[in-house]
C-alpha cells in the first residue's frame, strides 16, 4: 500500500528522480573510473591488480573517513536547507573543509613517506608491495584535493544541486580513461609507465575535477559560494553542536573502514589469487551498487529537508517508502548480477582460479544485496538524516567488529575456507543490522530537528 501511495505522490517521485538519478550517475562514473583503472592495469597481470588494489585499500580507509565527515555535515546542510538558513550552511561547509583536509593531509604523509610499510601490513608478497608502493606514493598527492571535492559535492547535493557535480565527474572520467591508456602502455608517443602511469592519470583527473567543481560554484555564485570569513564564522557553541552529531558519524565510518581493511588483510593473507579476486569482484559490485547510492543519498536529503521544515510526519512516511523501494530494486539487481557475473569477468586477463573465486564472490553478493541496501538506506538515508548518529555508530560498529571481523578471521585464517564462503560469513553482519534496525525505524526515535542550533549559536 505504501508503494502505491508513493507512486501516486508526484512531488515525492519528482524529487526522488531529480536527486537520485544524477547522484547514481555520478557514482557510476566514479566507480567506472576505478573499473577503468582495474581493467587497464589488469593487462599487466595479477600481481599488478593486487598491488594497485592494496594501495587503493589505503585510500578506501581515507575515503570512508571523508564520507563520514561530509555525510555528517550533510545532516545539518539538508535540515538547514529545509529551513532556508544559508549562513549556517556555509559554516557547516567550512568545518567540513577544515576537518576533511586535515584528515587527508595525515593520510598524504603516510602514503608519501611510508607506502611499503603500509602495504606490508596487508601482503607478504614483495613484488605486490613494491608495485603497490609506487602507485600509492603518487596517489597520495590527490588526497587533499579529493577532500575538497567531497566537501563541495556533498554540500551541493544537500541543497538540491546534483547535476553539475555529475557533469564534472563525466569530464574527469574521460580524462582519466584517455591518460590511463596512454601512460600505462606508452601509446601516442607517451612513456610506458605501468601502474605508475595509472596513478598519474588519476591524479590529473582529480585535479581537473576539483578545479572545475569549485570554479563553477563561484563563477555561477551558487548558495554555498562563501567567502573565507563566512566559512570561519564559527562560534564555540556551533562547533560543539556540530561535532556532537558528526563525531559519531566520523567514528562510525572510521571503525567500519578499519573493519573492512581487516577483511582485506584476511583476504590478502589467504593468497595473491584471493586478493586479486576480491579486488575484481568488488569493482563490479560497486557498479551494481551505484543506483542504491543514489537512492540512499536522495533519501537523506529528502528526509532531512522535511525534518528541517518541521514536517516530521511526512519524514516518517518517506522513511517507510524508502525501505520498501530500495530492497525491492535490489532484488531485481541481484538477479541481474547473478546471471551476468560470469560474462563480466571475461574482460580481465586472469587465471582460471581467480576467475572461479571472483565469480563465486559475485554470486554471494547478488544473494545478499537487498539486505545490504536496506541497511544502507536505514543507516545513511534515515537514521543519520534524523540526527540519530549514536545509534548508527553502535549498530554499524557492533555488526562489523562483533560479527563480521571475527567470522572472517575464523573462516579465512583458522578454518581455511574458500574465499566465497568467507564472503558469505561476512554478510552475516548485514542480517544482524537488518534485524536490529527495522524496529528502530518504526519507533520514530531517530527523528531529531537540529535547526535549533541557529538560535543557540
For the stretch 398-415, pLDDT in tens is 999 999 999 999 998 899
Tell me: pLDDT of 94 over 80: yes
If pLDDT is split at 50, 70 and 90, which confidence band does 24 have?
confident
Most confident of 44-53, 144-153, 173-182: 144-153
Average pLDDT over residues 161-173: 83
Tell me: pLDDT of 116 over 90: no
Tell me: pLDDT of 453 over 90: no
Average pLDDT over residues 277-305: 85
Of the candidates 259, 294, 263, the residue with the CA atom closest to the CA atom of residue 279: 263
Let me know: does 385 contact 300? Beta carbons within 8 Å.
yes
Q: Is the pLDDT higher at 159 or at 397?
A: 397
Q: Which of 253-257, 359-363, 370-374 has the lowest mean pLDDT?
A: 253-257
If pLDDT is split at 50, 70 and 90, which confidence band does 118 have?
confident
Residue 18 belongs to domain spanning: 2-456
pTM: 0.75
- Cα–Cα distance for residue pair 37/110, rounded to 1 Å: 22
Of the candidates 303, 323, 306, 315, the residue with the CA atom closest to the CA atom of residue 2: 323
- Cell 594497485 appears where? 52
pLDDT of the residue at 9: 74
Helical segments of 310-427, H only = 312-344, 352-376, 389-398, 405-409, 419-426
Tell me: pLDDT of 3 over 80: no
CA distances from 211 to 159, 172, 314 (A): 20, 11, 38
- Cα–Cα distance for residue pair 187/208, rounded to 1 Å: 22
Tell me: pLDDT of 455 over 50: no
Q: Which of 25-34, 69-78, 117-126, 191-200 has the lowest mean pLDDT?
A: 25-34
Q: What average pLDDT does the chain have?
A: 85
Of the candidates 33, 260, 36, 45, the residue with the CA atom closest to the CA atom of residue 131: 45
Number of domains in the chain: 1
Amino acid at each position: 500500500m505504501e508503494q502505491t501511495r508513493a507512486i501516486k505522490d508526484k512531488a515525492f517521485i519528482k524529487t526522488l528522480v531529480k536527486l537520485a538519478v544524477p547522484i547514481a550517475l555520478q557514482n557510476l562514473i566514479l566507480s567506472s573510473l576505478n573499473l577503468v583503472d582495474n581493467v587497464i592495469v589488469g593487462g599487466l597481470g595479477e600481481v599488478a591488480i593486487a598491488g594497485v588494489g592494496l594501495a587503493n585499500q589505503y585510500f578506501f580507509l581515507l575515503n570512508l573517513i571523508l564520507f563520514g565527515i561530509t555525510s555528517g555535515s550533510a545532516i545539518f546542510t539538508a535540515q538547514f536547507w529545509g529551513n532556508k538558513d544559508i549562513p549556517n550552511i556555509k559554516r557547516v561547509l567550512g568545518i567540513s573543509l577544515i576537518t576533511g583536509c586535515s584528515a587527508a593531509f595525515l593520510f598524504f604523509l603516510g602514503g608519501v613517506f611510508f607506502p611499503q610499510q603500509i602495504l606490508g601490513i596487508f601482503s607478504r608478497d614483495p613484488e605486490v608491495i613494491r608495485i603497490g608502493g609506487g602507485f600509492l606514493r603518487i596517489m597520495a598527492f590527490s588526497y587533499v584535493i579529493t577532500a575538497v571535492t567531497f566537501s563541495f559535492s556533498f554540500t551541493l547535493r544537500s541543497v538540491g544541486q546534483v547535476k553539475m557535480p555529475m557533469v564534472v565527474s563525466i569530464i574527469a572520467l574521460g580524462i582519466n580513461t584517455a591518460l590511463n591508456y596512454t601512460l600505462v602502455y606508452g601509446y601516442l608517443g607517451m612513456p610506458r609507465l605501468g601502474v605508475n602511469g595509472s596513478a598519474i592519470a588519476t591524479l590529473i583527473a582529480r585535479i581537473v575535477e576539483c578545479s572545475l567543481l569549485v570554479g563553477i560554484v563561484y563563477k555561477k555564485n551558487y548558495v554555498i559560494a562563501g567567502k573565507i570569513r563566512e566559512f570561519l564564522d564559527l562560534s564555540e557553541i556551533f562547533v560543539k553542536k556540530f561535532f556532537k552529531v558528526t563525531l559519531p558519524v566520523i567514528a562510525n565510518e572510521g571503525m567500519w573502514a578499519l573493519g573492512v581493511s581487516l577483511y582485506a588483510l584476511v583476504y590478502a593473507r589467504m593468497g595473491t589469487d584471493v586478493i586479486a579476486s576480491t579486488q575484481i569482484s568488488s569493482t563490479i559490485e560497486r557498479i551494481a551498487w551505484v543506483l542504491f547510492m543514489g537512492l540512499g543519498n536522495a533519501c537523506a536529503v529528502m528526509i532531512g529537508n522535511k525534518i528541517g521544515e518541521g514536517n516530521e510526519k511526512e519524514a516518517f512516511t518517506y522513511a517507510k517508502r524508502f525501505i520498501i523501494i530500495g530492497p525491492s530494486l535490489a532484488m531485481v539487481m541481484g538477479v541481474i548480477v547473478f546471471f551476468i557475473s560470469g560474462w563480466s569477468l571475461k574482460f580481465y586477463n586472469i587465471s582460471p582460479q581467480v576467475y572461479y573465486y571472483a565469480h563465486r564472490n559475485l554470486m554471494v553478493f547478488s544473494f545478499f544485496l537487498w539486505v545490504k541496501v536496506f541497511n544502507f538506506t536505514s543507516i545513511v538515508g534515515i537514521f543519520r538524516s534524523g540526527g540519530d548518529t549514536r545509534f548508527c555508530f553502535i549498530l554499524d560498529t557492533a555488526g562489523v567488529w562483533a560479527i563480521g571481523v571475527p567470522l572472517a578471521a575464523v573462516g579465512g585464517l583458522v578454518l581455511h575456507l574458500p574465499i566465497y564462503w568467507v564472503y558469505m560469513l561476512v554478510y552475516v553482519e548485514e542480517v544482524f543490522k537488518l534485524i536490529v534496525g527495522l524496529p528502530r525505524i518504526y519507533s520514530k526515535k531517530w527523528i531529531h530537528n537540529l535547526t535549533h542550533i541557529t538560535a543557540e549559536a
